[in-house]
Amino acid sequence: MKIQKIELTNYKAFLGTHKIQVGGKNLFIYGENGSGKSSLYYALKDFFQSSMEDIDLNELENAFVPESKQGRTAIRVTFKPNNEGQNKQKAYKFDVSNNDSRTSNDTSIRDGNKLKSFLTYKHLLGIHHLKKDEQINLFDLLVNGVLKHFKYSLTGGKELGELWTDCETTIAKRTGKEYQMTQKKSEVKAAIKVFNDAFGELFKSDSPEYILKHARPILEQFNHNIEIELSFSQLRPNAEFTAIKGAEVHVALRYAGKKIDKPHLFLNEARLSAIAISIYLGMIKRHIQGIPCKILFLDDIFIGLDISNRLPLLKIVETEFPDYQIFITTYDKPWFEYAKGSLEQNGDWKTLEFYARDCHDGTQLPMVIDCPDLLTKAKEHFDSCDYKAAAVYARSAFEKIIQKHCVRRKQIIYKPRLKDYTTEDFWNAIRDDLQQSVRDDVETYRNLVLNTFSHYNTEKPENRSELTNAIAAIERLKKSL
């Protein structure tokens, strides 16, 4: 089951009803701050979570909904194929009075919720709090971050984060006449035992739940050439039963086969992020895989990674999670454009851009722009008679097509700086390889239409038929390459 469409009404940043066409594809979203990309993350997360837990949609209503329209907050998600595996669509609506995902016999959304496969940059914030002047302790990053929602046989129906909270709550209880120390000791020991059993199992190398079993192959794909070992020292109360000791997960490291004595000096933000993400993704992979509706949502988690780590991560999610529907958001426009280029070659991906549009009353509304390729955009502008815009997009499409072709074929003379390259360099590198008719058409309409229409020139008004031919020429060029 893949998501076809998401409709959000008055949910968080989305005032009014907004439709997001996903088309059953993986989605890569660029969004500036405040544009609603995290609202989309939480909308989908809440949608799945609401199938099992009560979520008060009124609490999540957009703050600017007029009084007369309040109480209509809704998330509607349409899937195809439906839960029967038939090639039909099925919509599930979650609003203040109704939740289709709770329908008795249809467990698909409730099963999907089990994966807890929604990772936000907030789960990785623990990386920034690590003290670099002492031994690295990943406990907080794991227990309150990437493994917070992890559940399995030994967590006894609770999430790992809840088990840790139980430990913290019992140790913090004050003793007195009504709650005596013997009772506190017994409760603290019981809570700690459950936590140690559940969390400790993840560090046993012969256990099917071994934390590095699935994380290591993923980490290897980041090409850091590092091998890690993790150790958990087991929780224990202090002598007075007022604090918990042992909340420590230490890292032992080998780089290029050599033991690193001071891992804290070696592990920079990117490497730590790669380790944390590998552990998280590894834990998703260890999960049961027979769930019909598998979503993996990574919200802004590329923040802590440089380009040399971002591309491997993109490849990892594609290769390791082929049957998942992947959602990735980023606020980094150059990265988005860069990644889009590589994803566009793969028909499984779709890109969207989110912007915060200013409204006349001083508020902002999310604006979702479907990102077709530049030629399609040129045609859209052509259809709406905006010929100048159509020409600009067609010219950009021409530049992109020849640049990408040259880069792919390494068919260009070397220049030390990227800005030294001109469109002519790329064109000259490929023009002789083209069929003469294609080459002639491109050269004719490039000068006659694309370059000319892109400027303000009263002597040369935009001509509809010339523009039609120009766009057709760029299309033929694209096909021939």
Q: Does 311 bind other proteins (CB under 8 A)?
A: no
**If binding is defined by CB under 8 A, does position 87 make contact with other proteins?**
no
Distance CA 43, CA 74 (A): 9
- Locate 146 and state its tokens: 């990437």
x/- track of binding to other proteins for residues 17-36 (CB under 8 A): --------------------
| Minimum distance of other proteins from residue 421's CB (angstroms) | 49
Binding test (CB under 8 A) with other proteins, winner from 33, 105, 345, 465? 105
- Which residues fall within 8 angstroms of residue 396, CB to CB, at 6 or more apart? 374
Interface with other proteins, residue 289, by CB under 8 A: yes
**Which residues between 331 and 390 bind other proteins (CB under 8 A)?**
none
Between 12 and 214, whose beta carbon lies closer to other proteins?
Answer: 214
**Is 153 near other proteins (CB under 8 A)?**
yes
Minimum CB distance to other proteins, residue 152 (Å)? 8
Residue of 5, 69, 80, 102 interacting with other proteins (CB under 8 A): 102
As a whole number of angstroms, the distance between CA 314 and CA 57 comes to: 33
If one asks whether residue 154 binds other proteins (CB under 8 A), the answer comes out as: yes
283 near other proteins (CB under 8 A): no
Establish whether the linkage from the previous residue to 312 is cis, with ω within 30° of 0: no
Of the residues 5, 21, 34, 52, which one makes contact with other proteins according to CB under 8 A: 52
Q: Interaction with other proteins in 205-244: which residues (CB under 8 A)? A: 207-209
* Shortest CB 285 distance to other proteins, Å: 8
Size of the site for other proteins (CB under 8 A): 24
**What's the closest the beta carbon of residue 400 comes to other proteins, in angstroms?**
42
Return residues touching other proteins (CB under 8 A).
51-52, 102, 104-105, 107, 110-111, 114, 153-154, 156-157, 197, 201, 207-209, 286-291
